[in-house]
Amino acid sequence: MTEYKLMKGNEAMAEAAIQAGCDAYFGYPITPQSEVLEYLAREMPKHGRIVLQAESEVASINMVYGAAGAGFRAMTSSSSPGMSLMQEGISYIAGAELPCLLVNVNRAGPGLGTIQPGQGDYFQSVKGGGHGDYKMIVLAPASVQEMADFVYLGFDLAEKYRNPVLMLSDGAIGQMMEKVKFHPYTRPPFDKSWATTGKPASRGRNYITSLHILPENMEKHNRHLEEKFKAIRENEVRFEEINTEDAEYLFVAYGLSARICQKSMELAKEKGIKVGLLRPITLYPYPYQRLKELASQVKLMLSVELNSGQMVEDVKLAVEGKVPVEFYGRMGGMMPTPEEIVHHLETLIQYHHVN
Amino acid sequence: MSTEEQVLPGTAIEVTMPACHKDEDEYEMVYHKPHTMVDVGMHYCPGCAHSLVHKLIMEVVEELGIQETTIGVAPVGCSVFAYDYMDIDMTEAAHGRACAVATGIKKLMPDKYVFTYQGDGDLAAIGIAETLHAVNRGENILIVFMNNAVYGMTSGQMAPTTLPAMHTTTSPDGRDVAYYGAPIKVSELLSVLPGSFYVTRQAVNHANAVRKAKKALTNAFKYQQLHKGTCIVEIIGNCPSNWKMTPLEAAKFIDEEMVKTFPLGDIKVPKAEDLKANKRLFI
């Protein structure tokens, strides 16, 4: 009975949250994702769910912490400056091992920046952001359909690993309208025996904390978290490959940049340049292994991003100097045209003598 | 985290009973520590109010029979380990965020009893926004606000509630009101918000005060059943270590100095009509 609808990315994400059984959404208005709070303020009460406009992003993330700690499916969404405010809470959530879904509809920065799309929050999202040793699973949607699909996936992964999951979108994917289908969804079983729901006589008390005051306990907890992140790295790498079978060159791009690169590939093909695309879907864990393999096939990789060159560092880590890894990006909410990217690729092929 | 994985900071106290001529069951029980307290030693300093207030809250939880339906939120500060002592489900909040965390819990489980336990640095400085907005929304929670006029855990820095001219490690010449402003009377501030239902300021520096404080906590827990708004029980806490006083001097300091800025007693009481319909609850 599922049929296509025409929706904005932000609204598709909000609708998916309802269909994924999200119990509570806490948010604060910020462009370009205020539609999420607006949509859910309208729709969540109809389903008997909780939606609350908090006094700040600091409060939102801590409300998520409280609700997630009580075993409920909780989420928040924001955009770059708001995500910065949430980093403390995210660190606590990761430390206390609470599942929740966070969405960053990335705009351009630093500072107040601009409300136009950007990918400048890559480092913040995948390398930490908050204090201490922790990782989030980071999903990067490249379409309105994925804005919806990754909500289900995000909640499931969050509960599977008891870890925060971040969907790193951007202002364009959030605002643009595309067709989207909401697939039937069955929620996997989830053990909530650890949650703070009130202590019955039958069990000991549950508490949610990230505090381990004795160094030997803290290190033990760090090692436990690291084991979990290792399992995530081994089991949850997701990526998409397009035209890589006989590719001589490779675009590496995620989200909106990957969409632009798809057009660039078509233009390059017309010029006889065999270029493929590797689109990381999980930015953490990152597809290092696949990029390493592709490094023995292609002659050059070009990381295309809406920032000053962030993910390119991970591409270089994967490739280990086997082939040249270059970067092309625009910033400030500006987007490269497909032609611009192809032109840059051609220049690099000449420069590196890899034609 | 499960309880088992954490080594408790306190150590169990072994009590050796002196030899006596009666069997245990021949004595009349006149007082016992509430069963809702975890039987471990506490990390609090001698003469500190926290241990007493922890016990009062747990006595109330036991007497009302709400251990299974109570969830506490601990702050950052001296009482950061509150969950080691209270035998109920608890959540440790980031510094200042207890009221936001409690909101997340209470909104999802409106029929549970939810309380925060926060110090003056936590509630009145870094967490004032979360506190004010939770109360303004009339979140149906209890805020236990421990006011000892200093940052205790970090060893006695000036708090928003530090008295005028009071010496602390960061106001070595005494709090200069012209520079830092006057102590914030948070309870008075919160009492003017329509969302607050019951606001009171108590102390625990002598037996009579302890009884009054317990009564206030009992009422505040009961009021949650009415879903009428936020209850705030401020307790002026003794902090002999950071006040550089003996426990006895600290107890006197509350009566002689603290009450000048923070007078004890009810600041906002529920309207009679709100209680009338639920008479049986409030005897």
Mutation target among A60, A62, A225 for the B interface, most CBs of B within 10 A: A62
Q: What is the DSSP letter of B144?
A: E
- Give the residue, B5 or B26, on which the prediction is more confident: B26
Question: Which of B80, B87, B103 faces A66 most closely, judged by CB atoms?
Answer: B103
- pLDDT of B1 strictly over 50: no
Cross-chain residue pair B92–A211, CB shorter than 8 Å: yes
DSSP-assigned beta bridge partners for residue A300:
A249
DSSP-assigned beta bridge partners for residue B119:
B146
Indicate the pLDDT class of residue B2, thresholds 50, 70 and 90: very low
Q: Is B35 on the interface with A (CB under 8 A)?
A: no
- Tell me what pLDDT residue B9 has: 56
Q: Tens of pLDDT along A216-246?
A: 999 999 999 999 999 999 999 999 999 999 9
Cross-chain residue pair A198–B89, CB shorter than 8 Å: yes
Mean predicted confidence (pLDDT) in B194-216: 98
Q: What is the DSSP letter of B239?
A: -
- pLDDT of B29 strictly over 90: no
Contact B200, B232 (CB under 8 A): yes
Sign of CA dihedral B266, B272, B278, B283: positive
- pLDDT of B277 strictly over 80: no
Q: Is B105 on the interface with A (CB under 8 A)?
A: yes
Q: How large a percentage of chain B has pLDDT more than 70?
A: 91
- Tell me what pLDDT residue A102 has: 98
Mean predicted confidence (pLDDT) in B161-170: 97
- pLDDT of B24 strictly over 90: no
Q: Which fold has domain B45-281?
A: Rossmann fold (3.40.50)
- pLDDT of B6 strictly over 70: no
Nearest CA in chain B to A204: B3
Q: What does DSSP say about strands A239-242 and A275-280: parallel, antiparallel, or unpaired?
A: antiparallel
Q: Which residues contact A304 (CB under 8 A, 6 or more apart)?
A: A251, A252, A253, A257, A258, A260, A261, A264, A327, A328, A329, A336, A341
Looking at every residue in chain B, the average pLDDT score rounds to 92
Residue B146, SS3?
A: strand
- Tell me what pLDDT residue B246 has: 97
Q: Which domains does chain A have, with CATH numbers?
A: 5-235 (3.40.50.970), 241-351 (3.40.50.920)
Indicate the pLDDT class of residue B276, thresholds 50, 70 and 90: confident
Q: Tens of pLDDT along B147-162?
A: 999 999 999 999 999 9
Cross-chain residue pair B94–A214, CB shorter than 8 Å: no
- Tell me what pLDDT residue A126 has: 98
For chain A (355 residues), the mean pLDDT of every run of 10, in chain order, is: 90 98 98 97 98 98 98 98 98 98 98 97 96 98 98 98 98 98 96 97 96 97 98 98 98 98 98 98 98 98 98 98 98 97 98 93
Q: What is the largest CA-CA distance in chain B?
A: 66
What's the rounded Cα separation, in Å, for the pair A120 and A58? 21
What's the rounded Cα separation, in Å, for the pair B39 and A354? 73
Contact residues on chain A for B90, CB-CB shorter than 8 A: 196, 205-208
Cross-chain residue pair B101–A69, CB shorter than 8 Å: yes
Q: Tens of pLDDT along B75-111?
A: 999 999 999 999 999 999 999 999 999 999 999 999 9
Nearest CA in chain B to A210: B92
The dihedral region occupied by A198, where left means phi > 0, alpha psi between -120 and 50, and beta the remainder, is: left
Contact B122, B95 (CB under 8 A): yes
Q: Is B213 on the interface with A (CB under 8 A)?
A: no
- pLDDT of B191 strictly over 50: yes
What secondary structure, in 3-state letters, does chain A show? CCCCEEEEHHHHHHHHHHHCCCCEEEECCCCCCHHHHHHHHHHHHHHCCEEEECCCHHHHHHHHHHHHHCCCCEEEEECHHHHHHHHHHHHHHHHCCCCEEEEEEEEECCCCCEEEECCCCHHHHHCCCCCCCCCCEEECCCCHHHHHHHHHHHHHHHHHHCCEEEEEEEHHHHHCEEEECCCCCCCCCCCCCCCCCCCCCCCCCCEECCCCCCHHHHHHHHHHHHHHHHHHHHHCCCEEEECCCCCCEEEECCHHHHHHHHHHHHHHHHCCCCEEEEEECEEECCCHHHHHHHCCCCCEEEEEECCCCCCHHHHHHHHCCCCCEEEEECCCCCCCCHHHHHHHHHHHHHHCCCC
Indicate the pLDDT class of residue B259, thresholds 50, 70 and 90: very high
Contact residues on chain B for A26, CB-CB shorter than 8 A: 104
What's the rounded Cα separation, in Å, for the pair A16 and A149? 7
- pLDDT of B63 strictly over 80: yes
Mutation target among B88, B97, B111, B139 for the A interface, most CBs of A within 10 A: B97
10 Å CB burial of residue A129 (0-12, 13-18, 19+) is buried
Gap from A47 CA to chain B (nearest CA, Å): 13
pTM passes above 0.90: yes
φ, ψ of residue A100 to 5 degrees: the values are -165, 165
- Tell me what pLDDT residue A355 has: 87
- pLDDT of B3 strictly over 50: no
Choose among A131, A134, A138: nearest CA to A106: A138
Indicate the pLDDT class of residue B18, thresholds 50, 70 and 90: low
Q: What is the helix (H) or strand (E) element at residue B180, kind and residue range?
A: helix B177-180
Choose among B225, B129, B226: nearest CA to A63: B129
Residue B237, SS3?
A: coil
Question: Which of B1, B7, B100 faces A209 most closely, judged by CB atoms?
Answer: B1
What is the residue extent of each domain of chain B?
A: 45-281
Contact residues on chain A for B9, CB-CB shorter than 8 A: 213-214
